A and B are shown apart, each in its own frame.
Chain A
Amino acid sequence: MRGSRQFRTGRVWMLLCLHLLGCAHQLAALERTAALIDQPGLSATGKTVSSLNGGNSTAPVVYEGSWGKVGVRELTLEIPDANLAHSKELQTWRSGTLWEFYNNIATVTQILRDSGLNESDIATLTSTPCSEYRDGATILRPPDDLIIGMSPQTRARLYPRIGLPVRDNKFQNAVPFISGGFPRLAEVPSGLSPETIDLICRLSYAKRGGGLYFSDWKLVLSRAADDAERLRIIKSITREISLHASLELSEYTDRRAVLDYWGAGGRNQAGRTALEAILENREIRHLDLVHLLPPVAKRLINTYPEREEGLGDDMPDCFATAFSFFSNALPPRMLDGESVLEIHRERYERATAPWQFGDVLMIQSSQGQWIHACNFIAGEILFTKNGRSNNRPWVFQTTNDVLSSYLVDERIQAFFFRLKPEFRE
């Protein structure tokens, strides 16, 4: 998938938008990131160390800089069984795929045509038994073969127009795949048959920016042999890539510089206290990064949200997490979406390179909407909560992987922000 046309398109668009940043140092950093999409062997210093290849490598990738040497190995996280107990996908797959349009049949026909379906398929879809008009909605029941036979481009044009803009709408809120799509997620043994993997790949599609998505849950789940396979399918599709990161220490490590970097100018007191103690023991050569994180990130990294952490159905999202990075606890106010953006406006300013531990990377859509925020850790490593769902964990991911997950349209822009000096104490 990495070499596919879809993927390369995404890269081109991202490079285009990054050129629009108009900030030379920022451009330099992110342009390199974009270029890394197909060159995973480059470290932050430009040295090829080893590749991040879906967890099959035993050697870590090493990023070297003012943070010291940070080695990472790729991990593949799966939703815990407890979260799946309430999975809507498991409860609803039997109803089969339904396309609901809140339009009359003539408009729906035009939507299907605009999406690229051929006249024969449109005729099938708009006549009985596939079509029904009920309570102001035109409901289509597309045959499996028709869904499978659609091109990714048709899927990308059609799905955003199905249903209402609500959270549970799997067509408008499709599952975003990390760069490399489902083949990358399935590189680590998933327990799925090659046929099922192939089917999921065929049903994946790219949005305008090139990011890869999946919507056809009911079709894939209905073809599974049993509930056990259905569980494996859900767990595999919703897999999240994370990084097992550690600070590598040696007699040559500049301990003062490392302490200064992770101490973040006094904002990461807890991490600094632990690191001071650890650096004193010269026999420690390998330190999991969890020990260096400030309290909120330390508590959350590589875990899935618990319902208790939410405010009703609102779970901590990327913004709540990114702007609480140096807090001792995640303030409840951070669950109010608007409040977070107010904090961003009041307390943060554009950052200048070199990026610092905890800097906030924000991604903006072409409409000027902030669509994601995460924190810079070191090298190409970001601390991120992708999406609001409690089926997505807090993870470390590379800049490249985070950006590729948010290629929703032609022009995304990414900016680094940092707390204004008056708020750093």
Chain B
Amino acid sequence: MKLSGFIFMVSALTMVGVSAADSGKCSPGPWGDIRVSEIFLEAPESLIRLIPAPSRQTVWRFPGMDIEMVTTLLNSLTDDPVLLQEMRREVPLQTFEDETRAFPSPGIIRALPVAAQISLYRVLSRFEENPWYFQPVIIETDSVRSWFPEGRIPAEAISLIEELSFPLGDSLAFVDVPSLLPTVRTEREEIDLRKALTRTRSLLLDVQVTPGEDFDRLVDYWTCSDTALSGKPLLESFRLLPGSFSFNVAEVLPPVPRKHLNSFPSPGEGLTGSYPNSFWSTLNFFKISPDPRFMRKLRAENELSAHYEEVQPPLKFGDIVSFRDPARNQLLHVCSYIADDIAYTKNGKSVLEPWVFMRIKDIRSRHSIRNDSELSYLRRIDRSSPDAGPAPF
């Protein structure tokens, strides 16, 4: 909370419908009357134990930067001669052929002023070698205490997260995990802490159907006009039910997202060398058997270029929401549109990132940590249509 002036604020998402986050309902639309419930997923302990325990020493890694470049960067962080002197004493540097590493003390991390932290995080978050900076712990609320259930992690840890986290859109981001670890005393507490840090909000979506509702419209929406057929027999069976009823959107998803929704990758899913990422999850949304090649970003970009076209809202079930870094003209993330302002997403390839339903503005926040991202919407080209336009890229 210390970095209240943090500049990576994300503008409110207005293009795909008004968020109804607080009402517990989606805006009305062809998707029907959807009630929204929030849940908070945490990675299972078995997955946490797969990840080597991190050191309690914070390491800042600067790949491709020599010691002079890093020293210059650190010197530029502050004009305060006392702090600079402390930094020289408490931030030892280590050089490698193609990288420089810094080992700041907890005191220095806490002493850095807001502007200095912003400058430093901007550099560190560019490199995957700094996993916590590259993909921070996201707390999707402005209250750290309400995010973590009472008693789950030590009060000292909560206080430290409050002190060191910074705003990211409507959320908070936290990157100093190593400095948090000394707040726990036993292995059990540490596992609980690391588990709690994987906490991710997902949404349960229940479609409420009342007698007399235009069920054809609902079926058309959730089958994407008869192109996503696996859920159709179930939808049609609901038509035959008397009275009011509800169904969960998970039940009518195509097979691949249905299998993965609200779960973390299994260890076996990483056997190909990488765990499923956003490209894999989105481009396999309508497939019966997932195509492993979509884990590769280049392959995914080629697929998008060849078979998808840009569209404007209103969006359809399964359309692709794409996030680009406009400064670098780089595709950052893709996810699948579900309804209202909600998408199905896998935020990053980490085994500790689950597949979830998330509001698009929250997804955008996560992928705007380095620069504000630009949204666009893509739809698979129906090659049989005479209106099939040119490829978007």
Residues on A facing B (Cβ under 8 Å): 55-58, 73, 75-80, 82, 188-189, 242, 244, 266, 269-270, 272-274, 276-278, 280-281, 283-284, 286-288, 290-291, 295-296, 298-304, 306, 308-309, 328-329, 393
- Asked if B248 and A288 sit within 8 Å, CB to CB, the answer is yes
CB distance from B361 to the nearest CB of A (A): 21
Closest 3 pairs (CB-CB, A-B): A58-B243, A299-B259, A288-B248
Q: How far is the CA of A126 from the CA of B229 in the complex (A)?
A: 48
Is B289 positioned at the interface, with any CB of A under 8 Å from its CB?
Answer: yes
- The verdict on A277 contacting B42 (CB below 8 Å), with A76-B237, A78-B233, A308-B289 known, is yes
Contacts of B204 in A (CB 8 A): 278, 284, 287, 291
| Closest chain A residue to B199, Cβ basis | A277
Q: Could you show 12 A-B contacts with beta carbons less than 8 Å apart? A: A58-B244, A188-B240, A242-B237, A277-B42, A287-B204, A288-B248, A291-B204, A295-B259, A295-B266, A299-B255, A303-B234, A393-B233
| Closest chain B residue to A272, Cβ basis | B44
Contact of B41 among A77, A80, A277 (CB under 8 A): A277
- The verdict on A273 contacting B42 (CB below 8 Å), with A284-B204, A306-B230, A393-B233 known, is yes
| Closest chain A residue to B290, Cβ basis | A329
Contacts of B266 in A (CB 8 A): 269-270, 295, 328
B229-254 Cβ-contact flags toward A at 8 Å (1 or 0): 11111101110111111111011000
Contacts of A278 in B (CB 8 A): 39, 204
- Asked if B39 and A298 sit within 8 Å, CB to CB, the answer is no
Is B337 positioned at the interface, with any CB of A under 8 Å from its CB?
Answer: no
Is B128 positioned at the interface, with any CB of A under 8 Å from its CB?
Answer: no
Q: How far is the CA of A57 from the CA of B259 in the complex (A)?
A: 30
Q: How far is the CA of A410 from the CA of B264 in the complex (A)?
A: 47
List B243-281 residues whose CB lies under 8 Å from chain A. Answer: 243-248, 250-251, 255-256, 258-260, 262-264, 266, 268-269
Is B72 positioned at the interface, with any CB of A under 8 Å from its CB?
Answer: no
Instruction: Identify which of A79, A272, A328 gathers the most chain B CB atoms within 10 Å of its CB.
Output: A328
CB distance from B71 to the nearest CB of A (A): 45
CB distance from B375 to the nearest CB of A (A): 28
- The verdict on A73 contacting B245 (CB below 8 Å), with A281-B37, A308-B289, A309-B288 known, is yes
Contacts of B232 in A (CB 8 A): 80
Q: How far is the CA of A304 from the CA of B242 in the complex (A)?
A: 24
Is B103 positioned at the interface, with any CB of A under 8 Å from its CB?
Answer: no
CB distance from B345 to the nearest CB of A (A): 16
- Asked if B37 and A77 sit within 8 Å, CB to CB, the answer is no
- Asked if A302 and B229 sit within 8 Å, CB to CB, the answer is no
Contacts of A242 in B (CB 8 A): 237
Q: How far is the CA of A296 from the CA of B238 in the complex (A)?
A: 23
Q: How far is the CA of A82 from the CA of B227 in the complex (A)?
A: 11
- Asked if B262 and A291 sit within 8 Å, CB to CB, the answer is yes
Q: How far is the CA of A396 from the CA of B314 in the complex (A)?
A: 36
- Asked if B263 and A288 sit within 8 Å, CB to CB, the answer is no
Is B386 positioned at the interface, with any CB of A under 8 Å from its CB?
Answer: no
In the complex, given contacts A290-B248, A291-B248, A298-B258, what are 13 additional A-B residue pairs having Cβ atoms less than 8 angstroms apart? A73-B241, A77-B237, A78-B236, A80-B233, A269-B266, A277-B42, A286-B246, A288-B248, A295-B260, A295-B263, A299-B259, A302-B251, A304-B230
- The verdict on A77 contacting B234 (CB below 8 Å), with A288-B247, A328-B266 known, is yes
CB distance from B150 to the nearest CB of A (A): 11
Contacts of B234 in A (CB 8 A): 75, 77, 302-303
Q: How far is the CA of A414 from the CA of B288 in the complex (A)?
A: 33
Is B100 positioned at the interface, with any CB of A under 8 Å from its CB?
Answer: no
Is B40 positioned at the interface, with any CB of A under 8 Å from its CB?
Answer: yes
